Chain A
Amino acid sequence: MLELYKKNSPAIHKLLSIMCGLAVWHVLATVIVADSSFLVSPLAVAAKSYEMLFQTAELYPHLLASSSIFFYGYLLSIAAGVPLGFLMALSPAVRDYVHPWMTTLYTTPRIAFAPVLLLWLGIGAGAKVAIVFLGCVFPILINSYYGMRVVNREFVELARSFRLTRLALFWKILLPASVPFILSGLRLALGRGLTGVAIAEWFGATEGLGYLIFFAGQTLNVPVLFVGVTAFALLGILGFEILRKVEEIATPWRKKLQT
Protein backbone atom coordinates (compact mmCIF):
# COMPACT_ATOMS: atom_id res chain seq x y z
CA MET A 1 0.00 0.00 0.00
CA LEU A 2 2.74 2.41 1.02
CA GLU A 3 4.76 1.29 -1.99
CA LEU A 4 1.83 2.08 -4.24
CA TYR A 5 1.54 5.54 -2.68
CA LYS A 6 5.24 6.31 -3.03
CA LYS A 7 5.29 5.36 -6.68
CA ASN A 8 2.24 7.40 -7.64
CA SER A 9 2.36 10.15 -5.05
CA PRO A 10 2.19 13.09 -7.52
CA ALA A 11 -0.85 11.62 -9.26
CA ILE A 12 -2.50 10.81 -5.91
CA HIS A 13 -1.84 14.33 -4.60
CA LYS A 14 -3.36 15.89 -7.70
CA LEU A 15 -6.40 13.65 -7.54
CA LEU A 16 -6.94 14.40 -3.85
CA SER A 17 -6.61 18.12 -4.49
CA ILE A 18 -9.24 17.99 -7.25
CA MET A 19 -11.59 15.86 -5.11
CA CYS A 20 -11.28 18.29 -2.20
CA GLY A 21 -11.97 21.24 -4.48
CA LEU A 22 -15.06 19.55 -5.88
CA ALA A 23 -16.24 18.63 -2.39
CA VAL A 24 -15.86 22.21 -1.15
CA TRP A 25 -17.70 23.41 -4.26
CA HIS A 26 -20.48 20.91 -3.64
CA VAL A 27 -20.91 21.90 0.02
CA LEU A 28 -20.75 25.56 -0.89
CA ALA A 29 -23.46 25.12 -3.55
CA THR A 30 -25.84 22.86 -1.66
CA VAL A 31 -25.44 23.88 2.00
CA ILE A 32 -23.97 27.38 2.27
CA VAL A 33 -25.27 29.23 -0.76
CA ALA A 34 -28.13 26.82 -1.38
CA ASP A 35 -29.50 28.95 -4.19
CA SER A 36 -29.33 27.31 -7.61
CA SER A 37 -29.80 30.63 -9.37
CA PHE A 38 -26.32 31.63 -8.08
CA LEU A 39 -24.32 28.47 -7.85
CA VAL A 40 -24.96 24.84 -8.71
CA SER A 41 -23.21 21.74 -7.47
CA PRO A 42 -20.55 20.04 -9.63
CA LEU A 43 -22.93 17.10 -9.81
CA ALA A 44 -25.51 19.31 -11.51
CA VAL A 45 -22.82 20.57 -13.91
CA ALA A 46 -21.83 16.99 -14.67
CA ALA A 47 -25.46 16.04 -15.30
CA LYS A 48 -25.99 19.05 -17.55
CA SER A 49 -22.75 18.30 -19.44
CA TYR A 50 -23.84 14.72 -19.94
CA GLU A 51 -27.13 15.92 -21.29
CA MET A 52 -25.54 18.47 -23.63
CA LEU A 53 -22.96 15.98 -24.85
CA PHE A 54 -24.91 12.78 -25.22
CA GLN A 55 -28.58 13.63 -25.33
CA THR A 56 -29.12 16.95 -27.08
CA ALA A 57 -25.55 17.07 -28.45
CA GLU A 58 -25.86 20.88 -28.44
CA LEU A 59 -22.39 21.36 -26.96
CA TYR A 60 -20.44 20.10 -29.98
CA PRO A 61 -20.92 23.06 -32.32
CA HIS A 62 -19.80 25.40 -29.54
CA LEU A 63 -16.77 23.28 -28.69
CA LEU A 64 -15.84 22.98 -32.33
CA ALA A 65 -16.26 26.71 -33.00
CA SER A 66 -14.16 27.73 -30.00
CA SER A 67 -11.43 25.16 -30.58
CA SER A 68 -11.03 26.01 -34.23
CA ILE A 69 -10.80 29.76 -33.55
CA PHE A 70 -8.25 29.05 -30.87
CA PHE A 71 -6.33 26.65 -33.06
CA TYR A 72 -6.00 29.05 -36.00
CA GLY A 73 -5.13 32.01 -33.80
CA TYR A 74 -2.53 30.01 -31.90
CA LEU A 75 -0.90 28.56 -35.03
CA LEU A 76 -0.78 31.97 -36.67
CA SER A 77 0.88 33.38 -33.55
CA ILE A 78 3.56 30.70 -33.66
CA ALA A 79 4.10 31.20 -37.38
CA ALA A 80 4.52 34.95 -36.90
CA GLY A 81 5.93 35.21 -33.38
CA VAL A 82 8.76 32.72 -33.49
CA PRO A 83 10.47 33.93 -36.70
CA LEU A 84 9.96 37.58 -35.81
CA GLY A 85 11.38 36.99 -32.34
CA PHE A 86 14.42 35.31 -33.88
CA LEU A 87 14.89 38.16 -36.34
CA MET A 88 14.74 40.64 -33.48
CA ALA A 89 17.37 38.71 -31.57
CA LEU A 90 19.66 38.47 -34.59
CA SER A 91 19.26 41.94 -36.07
CA PRO A 92 19.52 45.12 -34.00
CA ALA A 93 17.68 47.04 -36.74
CA VAL A 94 14.66 44.72 -36.68
CA ARG A 95 14.76 44.92 -32.90
CA ASP A 96 14.60 48.71 -32.98
CA TYR A 97 11.69 48.73 -35.41
CA VAL A 98 9.60 46.09 -33.65
CA HIS A 99 10.32 46.92 -30.02
CA PRO A 100 8.05 49.95 -29.54
CA TRP A 101 5.12 48.14 -31.16
CA MET A 102 5.76 45.04 -29.16
CA THR A 103 5.69 46.83 -25.82
CA THR A 104 2.70 49.01 -26.68
CA LEU A 105 0.55 46.24 -28.06
CA TYR A 106 1.59 43.78 -25.37
CA THR A 107 0.58 46.01 -22.51
CA THR A 108 -2.67 47.29 -24.02
CA PRO A 109 -5.58 45.22 -22.67
CA ARG A 110 -6.73 43.01 -25.51
CA ILE A 111 -10.34 43.52 -24.65
CA ALA A 112 -9.90 47.08 -25.87
CA PHE A 113 -9.07 45.78 -29.35
CA ALA A 114 -12.03 43.48 -29.59
CA PRO A 115 -14.73 45.98 -30.58
CA VAL A 116 -12.37 47.68 -33.02
CA LEU A 117 -11.42 44.42 -34.70
CA LEU A 118 -15.04 43.34 -34.90
CA LEU A 119 -15.87 46.68 -36.47
CA TRP A 120 -13.14 46.24 -39.07
CA LEU A 121 -13.32 42.55 -39.77
CA GLY A 122 -16.99 41.90 -39.06
CA ILE A 123 -18.32 39.25 -36.76
CA GLY A 124 -16.98 36.37 -38.87
CA ALA A 125 -14.16 34.04 -37.94
CA GLY A 126 -11.53 36.55 -39.11
CA ALA A 127 -12.05 39.00 -36.28
CA LYS A 128 -12.17 36.26 -33.66
CA VAL A 129 -8.99 34.65 -34.90
CA ALA A 130 -7.38 38.08 -34.91
CA ILE A 131 -8.33 38.63 -31.26
CA VAL A 132 -6.88 35.27 -30.28
CA PHE A 133 -3.79 36.03 -32.35
CA LEU A 134 -3.28 39.32 -30.54
CA GLY A 135 -3.48 37.50 -27.24
CA CYS A 136 -1.04 34.74 -28.13
CA VAL A 137 1.53 36.36 -30.35
CA PHE A 138 3.32 38.56 -27.83
CA PRO A 139 4.29 35.98 -25.23
CA ILE A 140 5.55 33.79 -28.08
CA LEU A 141 7.37 36.66 -29.76
CA ILE A 142 8.94 37.93 -26.55
CA ASN A 143 10.06 34.49 -25.42
CA SER A 144 11.54 33.58 -28.80
CA TYR A 145 13.38 36.88 -28.88
CA TYR A 146 14.58 36.62 -25.31
CA GLY A 147 15.52 32.93 -25.59
CA MET A 148 17.80 33.62 -28.51
CA ARG A 149 19.29 36.71 -26.92
CA VAL A 150 20.37 35.10 -23.70
CA VAL A 151 22.14 32.15 -25.28
CA ASN A 152 25.27 31.49 -23.25
CA ARG A 153 28.14 33.56 -24.65
CA GLU A 154 30.45 30.56 -24.30
CA PHE A 155 28.21 28.55 -26.65
CA VAL A 156 28.57 31.19 -29.34
CA GLU A 157 32.33 31.31 -28.80
CA LEU A 158 32.38 27.54 -28.96
CA ALA A 159 30.78 27.65 -32.39
CA ARG A 160 33.19 30.33 -33.54
CA SER A 161 36.20 28.51 -32.16
CA PHE A 162 35.14 25.52 -34.25
CA ARG A 163 34.74 27.86 -37.21
CA LEU A 164 31.11 26.87 -37.73
CA THR A 165 29.24 28.85 -40.37
CA ARG A 166 26.58 31.36 -39.32
CA LEU A 167 23.94 28.95 -40.54
CA ALA A 168 25.38 26.14 -38.40
CA LEU A 169 25.57 28.52 -35.45
CA PHE A 170 21.84 29.13 -35.85
CA TRP A 171 20.77 25.51 -36.31
CA LYS A 172 23.14 23.84 -33.90
CA ILE A 173 23.39 26.39 -31.09
CA LEU A 174 20.95 29.29 -31.14
CA LEU A 175 17.81 27.39 -32.13
CA PRO A 176 18.11 24.44 -29.72
CA ALA A 177 19.12 26.79 -26.91
CA SER A 178 15.93 28.80 -27.51
CA VAL A 179 13.53 25.85 -27.53
CA PRO A 180 12.80 25.82 -23.76
CA PHE A 181 12.04 29.55 -23.87
CA ILE A 182 9.73 29.14 -26.87
CA LEU A 183 7.91 26.36 -25.06
CA SER A 184 7.31 28.52 -22.02
CA GLY A 185 6.06 31.24 -24.38
CA LEU A 186 3.64 28.70 -25.84
CA ARG A 187 2.44 27.86 -22.36
CA LEU A 188 1.82 31.51 -21.50
CA ALA A 189 0.07 31.99 -24.82
CA LEU A 190 -2.28 29.11 -24.12
CA GLY A 191 -4.09 30.88 -21.30
CA ARG A 192 -4.09 34.20 -23.08
CA GLY A 193 -5.40 32.56 -26.24
CA LEU A 194 -8.33 30.96 -24.43
CA THR A 195 -9.13 34.29 -22.82
CA GLY A 196 -9.05 35.71 -26.34
CA VAL A 197 -11.60 33.12 -27.49
CA ALA A 198 -13.93 34.06 -24.65
CA ILE A 199 -13.59 37.77 -25.38
CA ALA A 200 -14.09 37.29 -29.12
CA GLU A 201 -17.22 35.23 -28.65
CA TRP A 202 -18.60 37.62 -26.08
CA PHE A 203 -19.04 40.26 -28.73
CA GLY A 204 -21.60 39.38 -31.32
CA ALA A 205 -21.06 35.69 -31.87
CA THR A 206 -23.73 33.10 -32.50
CA GLU A 207 -21.85 30.06 -31.37
CA GLY A 208 -18.86 29.07 -29.31
CA LEU A 209 -18.24 28.51 -25.61
CA GLY A 210 -17.86 32.24 -24.98
CA TYR A 211 -21.24 32.83 -26.57
CA LEU A 212 -22.72 29.96 -24.56
CA ILE A 213 -21.48 31.46 -21.30
CA PHE A 214 -22.56 34.96 -22.24
CA PHE A 215 -26.01 33.79 -23.29
CA ALA A 216 -26.45 31.59 -20.21
CA GLY A 217 -25.43 34.55 -18.06
CA GLN A 218 -28.03 36.76 -19.70
CA THR A 219 -30.75 34.16 -19.26
CA LEU A 220 -29.61 33.19 -15.75
CA ASN A 221 -29.13 29.60 -16.82
CA VAL A 222 -26.53 28.77 -14.18
CA PRO A 223 -25.94 25.08 -15.01
CA VAL A 224 -25.20 25.87 -18.69
CA LEU A 225 -22.99 28.75 -17.63
CA PHE A 226 -20.91 26.37 -15.54
CA VAL A 227 -20.79 23.81 -18.33
CA GLY A 228 -19.23 26.51 -20.53
CA VAL A 229 -16.69 27.52 -17.90
CA THR A 230 -15.77 23.91 -17.24
CA ALA A 231 -15.33 23.26 -20.95
CA PHE A 232 -12.88 26.18 -21.14
CA ALA A 233 -10.99 24.84 -18.15
CA LEU A 234 -10.78 21.38 -19.68
CA LEU A 235 -9.58 22.81 -23.00
CA GLY A 236 -6.84 24.60 -21.07
CA ILE A 237 -5.81 21.42 -19.30
CA LEU A 238 -5.81 19.53 -22.58
CA GLY A 239 -3.60 22.20 -24.12
CA PHE A 240 -1.18 22.04 -21.21
CA GLU A 241 -0.94 18.27 -21.44
CA ILE A 242 -0.28 18.43 -25.19
CA LEU A 243 2.45 21.01 -24.59
CA ARG A 244 3.96 18.82 -21.91
CA LYS A 245 4.18 15.96 -24.36
CA VAL A 246 5.71 18.24 -26.97
CA GLU A 247 8.24 19.41 -24.38
CA GLU A 248 9.16 15.85 -23.48
CA ILE A 249 9.77 15.02 -27.11
CA ALA A 250 11.51 18.26 -28.07
CA THR A 251 13.74 18.57 -25.01
CA PRO A 252 14.48 15.08 -23.74
CA TRP A 253 17.55 16.36 -21.89
CA ARG A 254 15.42 18.48 -19.58
CA LYS A 255 13.23 15.68 -18.33
CA LYS A 256 15.70 14.51 -15.75
CA LEU A 257 16.66 18.03 -14.79
CA GLN A 258 13.15 18.71 -13.56
CA THR A 259 12.50 15.60 -11.52
Chain B
Amino acid sequence: MAIPILELRNLGREVAGRGAEPFVIFNGINLTVRDGEFVSIVGPSGCGKTTLLRVINGLLSPSAGQIFVDGKEQNGADGELLMGFVFQGAALLPWRTSLNNVLLGLEGRKKNTPDAQAIARKYLDLVGLSGFEQHYPHELSGGMQQRVNLARALAVDPKILLMDEPFASLDAQTRSFMQLELLRIWSQTRKTVIFVTHMISEAILLSDRVVVLSHRPGRIRSEFPVPLPRPRDMEIKSDRRFVELENTVWKLIEEEVKAAGGFAKL
Protein backbone atom coordinates (compact mmCIF):
# COMPACT_ATOMS: atom_id res chain seq x y z
CA MET B 1 0.00 0.00 0.00
CA ALA B 2 1.14 3.54 -0.75
CA ILE B 3 2.33 5.73 2.10
CA PRO B 4 -0.70 7.43 3.64
CA ILE B 5 -0.72 11.23 3.48
CA LEU B 6 -1.59 11.43 7.17
CA GLU B 7 -1.10 8.93 9.90
CA LEU B 8 -1.91 9.40 13.58
CA ARG B 9 -0.34 6.83 15.85
CA ASN B 10 -1.67 6.43 19.35
CA LEU B 11 -2.18 10.17 19.58
CA GLY B 12 -3.16 11.61 22.95
CA ARG B 13 -3.42 14.96 24.64
CA GLU B 14 -3.89 15.72 28.29
CA VAL B 15 -3.70 18.90 30.31
CA ALA B 16 -3.26 19.57 34.01
CA GLY B 17 -6.57 18.85 35.74
CA ARG B 18 -8.16 20.38 38.80
CA GLY B 19 -6.86 17.63 41.06
CA ALA B 20 -3.74 15.47 40.93
CA GLU B 21 -5.09 13.50 37.96
CA PRO B 22 -4.32 14.95 34.52
CA PHE B 23 -7.33 15.84 32.42
CA VAL B 24 -7.31 13.57 29.39
CA ILE B 25 -8.90 15.25 26.39
CA PHE B 26 -8.35 12.35 24.00
CA ASN B 27 -6.03 9.38 23.76
CA GLY B 28 -5.16 6.34 21.72
CA ILE B 29 -6.20 7.95 18.44
CA ASN B 30 -5.08 5.90 15.44
CA LEU B 31 -6.09 7.16 12.05
CA THR B 32 -4.77 6.68 8.55
CA VAL B 33 -5.85 8.97 5.75
CA ARG B 34 -5.22 8.37 2.03
CA ASP B 35 -4.13 11.13 -0.30
CA GLY B 36 -7.20 12.91 -1.62
CA GLU B 37 -9.54 11.41 0.93
CA PHE B 38 -12.30 13.43 2.59
CA VAL B 39 -12.66 12.30 6.21
CA SER B 40 -15.21 13.71 8.61
CA ILE B 41 -14.92 13.56 12.37
CA VAL B 42 -18.11 13.66 14.40
CA GLY B 43 -18.59 13.23 18.12
CA PRO B 44 -20.36 14.65 21.12
CA SER B 45 -19.64 18.21 22.11
CA GLY B 46 -16.46 18.60 24.13
CA CYS B 47 -14.95 15.26 23.07
CA GLY B 48 -11.83 17.00 21.81
CA LYS B 49 -12.38 17.46 18.08
CA THR B 50 -11.00 20.99 17.95
CA THR B 51 -8.10 20.01 20.16
CA LEU B 52 -7.36 17.07 17.85
CA LEU B 53 -7.18 19.36 14.81
CA ARG B 54 -4.91 21.76 16.70
CA VAL B 55 -2.60 18.91 17.65
CA ILE B 56 -2.53 17.60 14.08
CA ASN B 57 -1.63 21.10 12.87
CA GLY B 58 1.12 21.45 15.49
CA LEU B 59 -0.56 24.33 17.29
CA LEU B 60 -0.65 22.16 20.40
CA SER B 61 1.81 19.42 21.19
CA PRO B 62 0.56 15.89 21.77
CA SER B 63 1.24 14.35 25.15
CA ALA B 64 1.53 10.96 23.52
CA GLY B 65 1.85 9.45 20.07
CA GLN B 66 3.10 10.61 16.71
CA ILE B 67 1.89 12.36 13.60
CA PHE B 68 3.21 11.46 10.17
CA VAL B 69 2.64 13.40 6.99
CA ASP B 70 3.77 11.58 3.88
CA GLY B 71 5.69 9.26 6.16
CA LYS B 72 7.59 12.11 7.84
CA GLU B 73 7.11 12.65 11.55
CA GLN B 74 5.85 16.12 12.45
CA ASN B 75 7.30 18.27 15.22
CA GLY B 76 5.07 21.14 16.18
CA ALA B 77 4.40 24.49 14.61
CA ASP B 78 7.97 25.27 13.58
CA GLY B 79 7.95 22.74 10.80
CA GLU B 80 7.06 23.07 7.17
CA LEU B 81 3.74 24.49 6.05
CA LEU B 82 1.86 21.35 5.05
CA MET B 83 -1.66 21.99 6.27
CA GLY B 84 -4.27 24.67 5.88
CA PHE B 85 -6.52 25.41 8.82
CA VAL B 86 -10.08 26.57 8.25
CA PHE B 87 -11.24 28.15 11.50
CA GLN B 88 -14.67 27.79 13.00
CA GLY B 89 -15.12 31.54 13.47
CA ALA B 90 -13.64 32.48 10.06
CA ALA B 91 -10.85 34.41 11.88
CA LEU B 92 -10.53 36.94 9.08
CA LEU B 93 -8.30 39.88 9.92
CA PRO B 94 -10.69 42.86 9.97
CA TRP B 95 -7.99 45.28 8.80
CA ARG B 96 -7.32 43.32 5.63
CA THR B 97 -9.42 43.11 2.50
CA SER B 98 -10.49 39.69 1.20
CA LEU B 99 -7.53 39.66 -1.15
CA ASN B 100 -5.05 40.59 1.57
CA ASN B 101 -6.55 38.04 3.93
CA VAL B 102 -5.97 35.34 1.34
CA LEU B 103 -2.44 36.66 0.79
CA LEU B 104 -1.49 36.25 4.45
CA GLY B 105 -0.33 32.66 4.15
CA LEU B 106 1.54 33.36 0.93
CA GLU B 107 3.42 36.25 2.54
CA GLY B 108 4.87 33.79 5.01
CA ARG B 109 6.61 31.89 2.26
CA LYS B 110 7.49 34.20 -0.56
CA LYS B 111 7.55 37.91 -1.06
CA ASN B 112 4.29 39.60 -1.96
CA THR B 113 4.99 39.20 -5.65
CA PRO B 114 2.46 39.69 -8.46
CA ASP B 115 2.65 35.92 -8.54
CA ALA B 116 1.18 35.64 -5.05
CA GLN B 117 -1.48 38.17 -5.99
CA ALA B 118 -2.48 36.04 -8.95
CA ILE B 119 -2.67 32.95 -6.76
CA ALA B 120 -4.83 34.74 -4.20
CA ARG B 121 -7.16 35.99 -6.92
CA LYS B 122 -7.40 32.52 -8.37
CA TYR B 123 -8.55 31.02 -5.08
CA LEU B 124 -10.99 33.84 -4.40
CA ASP B 125 -12.41 33.07 -7.81
CA LEU B 126 -12.54 29.36 -6.98
CA VAL B 127 -14.69 30.03 -3.91
CA GLY B 128 -16.93 32.28 -5.97
CA LEU B 129 -15.76 35.63 -4.66
CA SER B 130 -14.22 37.34 -7.65
CA GLY B 131 -15.32 40.95 -7.54
CA PHE B 132 -15.03 41.03 -3.74
CA GLU B 133 -11.25 41.30 -3.57
CA GLN B 134 -11.28 44.78 -2.07
CA HIS B 135 -14.06 44.17 0.45
CA TYR B 136 -13.32 44.16 4.15
CA PRO B 137 -14.65 41.22 6.22
CA HIS B 138 -17.43 43.28 7.81
CA GLU B 139 -18.73 44.01 4.35
CA LEU B 140 -19.20 40.29 3.67
CA SER B 141 -21.99 37.94 4.78
CA GLY B 142 -21.21 35.01 7.08
CA GLY B 143 -21.15 32.61 4.14
CA MET B 144 -18.81 34.86 2.18
CA GLN B 145 -16.49 35.15 5.15
CA GLN B 146 -16.26 31.38 5.32
CA ARG B 147 -15.44 31.34 1.61
CA VAL B 148 -12.53 33.70 2.23
CA ASN B 149 -11.48 31.53 5.15
CA LEU B 150 -11.45 28.52 2.84
CA ALA B 151 -9.67 30.36 0.03
CA ARG B 152 -6.99 31.52 2.45
CA ALA B 153 -6.29 27.97 3.59
CA LEU B 154 -6.30 26.62 0.04
CA ALA B 155 -4.05 29.37 -1.34
CA VAL B 156 -0.91 27.98 0.30
CA ASP B 157 -1.59 24.72 -1.57
CA PRO B 158 -1.48 22.57 1.57
CA LYS B 159 -1.27 18.80 1.45
CA ILE B 160 -4.03 18.55 4.00
CA LEU B 161 -6.94 20.83 4.77
CA LEU B 162 -8.14 20.87 8.38
CA MET B 163 -11.64 22.25 8.76
CA ASP B 164 -13.15 22.91 12.18
CA GLU B 165 -16.94 23.19 11.95
CA PRO B 166 -16.63 25.85 9.28
CA PHE B 167 -20.37 26.10 8.66
CA ALA B 168 -21.58 25.90 12.26
CA SER B 169 -22.41 29.59 12.52
CA LEU B 170 -24.34 29.80 9.25
CA ASP B 171 -28.10 29.66 8.85
CA ALA B 172 -29.55 26.38 7.54
CA GLN B 173 -30.00 27.57 3.98
CA THR B 174 -26.57 29.12 3.61
CA ARG B 175 -25.13 26.04 5.23
CA SER B 176 -26.67 23.66 2.67
CA PHE B 177 -25.44 25.92 -0.07
CA MET B 178 -21.93 26.01 1.33
CA GLN B 179 -21.91 22.21 1.59
CA LEU B 180 -22.61 21.99 -2.14
CA GLU B 181 -19.94 24.60 -2.77
CA LEU B 182 -17.45 22.59 -0.76
CA LEU B 183 -18.32 19.47 -2.77
CA ARG B 184 -17.65 21.43 -5.96
CA ILE B 185 -14.40 22.97 -4.68
CA TRP B 186 -13.19 19.65 -3.37
CA SER B 187 -13.87 17.94 -6.69
CA GLN B 188 -11.78 20.66 -8.37
CA THR B 189 -8.84 20.55 -5.95
CA ARG B 190 -8.96 16.97 -4.66
CA LYS B 191 -7.32 17.99 -1.40
CA THR B 192 -7.10 15.66 1.52
CA VAL B 193 -9.61 17.02 4.03
CA ILE B 194 -10.17 16.39 7.72
CA PHE B 195 -13.56 17.92 8.42
CA VAL B 196 -14.95 18.31 11.93
CA THR B 197 -18.68 18.75 12.29
CA HIS B 198 -21.59 18.20 14.64
CA MET B 199 -23.96 17.53 11.83
CA ILE B 200 -24.11 13.89 10.81
CA SER B 201 -25.85 14.55 7.51
CA GLU B 202 -23.18 17.09 6.62
CA ALA B 203 -20.44 14.56 7.39
CA ILE B 204 -22.07 11.90 5.21
CA LEU B 205 -22.88 14.22 2.34
CA LEU B 206 -19.29 15.46 2.07
CA SER B 207 -17.07 12.56 3.06
CA ASP B 208 -15.54 9.35 1.89
CA ARG B 209 -15.36 8.20 5.49
CA VAL B 210 -16.99 9.24 8.76
CA VAL B 211 -15.06 8.79 11.99
CA VAL B 212 -17.06 8.81 15.22
CA LEU B 213 -15.31 9.91 18.39
CA SER B 214 -16.40 8.74 21.80
CA HIS B 215 -17.28 10.92 24.73
CA ARG B 216 -14.34 12.14 26.84
CA PRO B 217 -11.65 11.04 26.83
CA GLY B 218 -12.11 11.07 23.07
CA ARG B 219 -11.24 7.88 21.25
CA ILE B 220 -12.20 6.59 17.87
CA ARG B 221 -15.43 4.78 18.54
CA SER B 222 -16.13 3.65 15.01
CA GLU B 223 -15.46 4.39 11.35
CA PHE B 224 -17.86 4.19 8.42
CA PRO B 225 -17.00 4.36 4.76
CA VAL B 226 -19.63 6.32 2.87
CA PRO B 227 -20.90 4.06 0.07
CA LEU B 228 -22.29 6.84 -2.06
CA PRO B 229 -21.12 7.74 -5.56
CA ARG B 230 -19.85 11.16 -6.52
CA PRO B 231 -20.67 13.73 -7.73
CA ARG B 232 -23.27 14.20 -5.02
CA ASP B 233 -26.05 16.67 -4.58
CA MET B 234 -28.77 17.29 -2.01
CA GLU B 235 -30.98 14.57 -3.47
CA ILE B 236 -28.60 11.97 -2.19
CA LYS B 237 -29.88 12.72 1.29
CA SER B 238 -33.01 10.72 0.52
CA ASP B 239 -30.98 7.74 -0.74
CA ARG B 240 -31.67 4.66 1.36
CA ARG B 241 -27.97 4.13 2.14
CA PHE B 242 -27.64 7.74 3.27
CA VAL B 243 -30.57 7.45 5.64
CA GLU B 244 -29.37 4.14 7.06
CA LEU B 245 -25.88 5.45 7.69
CA GLU B 246 -27.25 8.60 9.30
CA ASN B 247 -29.35 6.45 11.67
CA THR B 248 -26.45 4.18 12.54
CA VAL B 249 -24.13 7.10 13.35
CA TRP B 250 -26.83 8.90 15.28
CA LYS B 251 -27.45 5.82 17.47
CA LEU B 252 -23.75 5.59 18.23
CA ILE B 253 -23.55 9.21 19.23
CA GLU B 254 -26.68 8.86 21.31
CA GLU B 255 -25.03 6.01 23.19
CA GLU B 256 -21.98 8.20 23.76
CA VAL B 257 -24.13 11.00 25.05
CA LYS B 258 -25.91 8.61 27.42
CA ALA B 259 -22.56 7.28 28.60
CA ALA B 260 -21.61 10.87 29.35
CA GLY B 261 -24.69 11.23 31.53
CA GLY B 262 -27.10 12.87 29.12
CA PHE B 263 -27.20 16.08 27.16
CA ALA B 264 -27.27 18.20 30.27
CA LYS B 265 -23.77 17.05 31.18
CA LEU B 266 -22.24 18.05 27.88
- List chain A positions with a Cβ less than 8 A from chain B: 152, 154-155, 157-158, 160-165, 168, 172-173, 176-177, 179, 251, 253-254, 256-257
B91 touches A155 (CB 8 A): yes
Tell whether A163 pairs with B108 under 8 Å between CB atoms, given A155-B91, A155-B93, A251-B95: yes
Q: Chain B: which residue is nearest A251 at the CB level?
A: B95
Tell whether A162 pairs with B105 under 8 Å between CB atoms, given A154-B87, A157-B59, A157-B85: yes
Q: Give the Cβ gap from A178 to chain B, nearest Cβ, in Å.
A: 11
Q: Give the Cβ gap from B187 to chain A, nearest Cβ, in Å.
A: 25
Report which of B77, B84, B94, B136 forms a contact with A160, defined as CB distance below 8 A.
B77
Complex alpha-carbon distance, A256 and B116, angstroms: 28
Q: Chain B: which residue is nearest A163 at the CB level?
A: B81
Q: Give the Cβ gap from A84 to chain B, nearest Cβ, in Å.
A: 23
Tell whether A163 pairs with B77 under 8 Å between CB atoms, given A154-B91, A155-B91, A158-B87: yes
- List chain B positions with a Cβ less than 8 A from chain A: 54, 57-59, 77-81, 83-85, 87, 89, 91, 93-96, 104-105, 107-108, 136-139, 156
B81 touches A162 (CB 8 A): yes
Pairs across A and B, CB under 8 Å, 25 listed: A152-B91, A155-B93, A158-B87, A158-B93, A158-B104, A160-B59, A161-B57, A161-B77, A161-B85, A162-B105, A163-B77, A163-B80, A163-B108, A164-B104, A164-B108, A165-B108, A168-B108, A172-B104, A172-B107, A176-B95, A177-B93, A253-B95, A253-B96, A253-B136, A257-B138
Q: Chain A: which residue is nearest B85 at the CB level?
A: A161
Q: Give the Cβ gap from B95 to chain A, nearest Cβ, in Å.
A: 5
Report which of B77, B89, B94, B156 forms a contact with A253, defined as CB distance below 8 A.
B94
B77 touches A176 (CB 8 A): no
Q: Give the Cβ gap from A45 to chain B, nearest Cβ, in Å.
A: 43
For residue A172, which residues in chain B have a CB less than 8 angstroms away from its CB? 104, 107
For the residues of A in contact with B, the DSSP-based class is: helix
Complex alpha-carbon distance, A179 and B93, angstroms: 13
Q: Chain B: which residue is nearest A161 at the CB level?
A: B85
B81 touches A158 (CB 8 A): no
Complex alpha-carbon distance, A162 and B83, angstroms: 8
Report which of B58, B85, B94, B138 forms a contact with A158, defined as CB distance below 8 A.
B85
Please give me the 7 A-B residue pairs with the lowest Cβ-Cβ distance, nearest first.
Answer: A154-B91, A161-B85, A162-B105, A163-B81, A253-B136, A164-B108, A160-B77
For residue B78, which residues in chain A have a CB less than 8 angstroms away from its CB? 163
A-B contacts, CB under 8 A, total: 62
Q: Give the Cβ gap from B138 to chain A, nearest Cβ, in Å.
A: 6
For residue B84, which residues in chain A have a CB less than 8 angstroms away from its CB? 161
4 new A-B contacts, CB < 8 A, other than A161-B57, A163-B77, are A154-B91, A172-B104, A176-B95, A253-B94
A173 touches B93 (CB 8 A): yes
Complex alpha-carbon distance, A164 and B83, angstroms: 13
Q: Which among A163, A164, A176, A251 has the highest number of chain B CB atoms within 10 Å? A: A163
For residue A177, which residues in chain B have a CB less than 8 angstroms away from its CB? 93, 95
Q: Which among A162, A177, A256 has the highest number of chain B CB atoms within 10 Å? A: A162
For residue B96, which residues in chain A have a CB less than 8 angstroms away from its CB? 253
Complex alpha-carbon distance, A176 and B97, angstroms: 13
For residue A161, which residues in chain B have a CB less than 8 angstroms away from its CB? 57, 59, 77, 83-85
Complex alpha-carbon distance, A168 and B81, angstroms: 15
Complex alpha-carbon distance, A254 and B136, angstroms: 9
B136 touches A256 (CB 8 A): yes
A158 touches B91 (CB 8 A): yes
Complex alpha-carbon distance, A154 and B57, angstroms: 13
B80 touches A176 (CB 8 A): no
Report which of A154, A157, A163 forms a contact with B79, defined as CB distance below 8 A.
A163
For residue B91, which residues in chain A have a CB less than 8 angstroms away from its CB? 152, 154-155, 157-158
For residue A165, which residues in chain B have a CB less than 8 angstroms away from its CB? 108
Q: Give the Cβ gap from B89 to chain A, nearest Cβ, in Å.
A: 6
Q: Chain B: which residue is nearest A154 at the CB level?
A: B91
For residue A256, which residues in chain B have a CB less than 8 angstroms away from its CB? 136, 138-139
Q: Give the Cβ gap from A55 to chain B, nearest Cβ, in Å.
A: 50
Complex alpha-carbon distance, A160 and B57, angstroms: 9
For residue A179, which residues in chain B have a CB less than 8 angstroms away from its CB? 95
For residue A154, which residues in chain B have a CB less than 8 angstroms away from its CB? 87, 89, 91
Report which of B89, B94, B139, B156 forms a contact with A162, defined as CB distance below 8 A.
B156
For residue A251, which residues in chain B have a CB less than 8 angstroms away from its CB? 95
For residue B81, which residues in chain A have a CB less than 8 angstroms away from its CB? 162-163
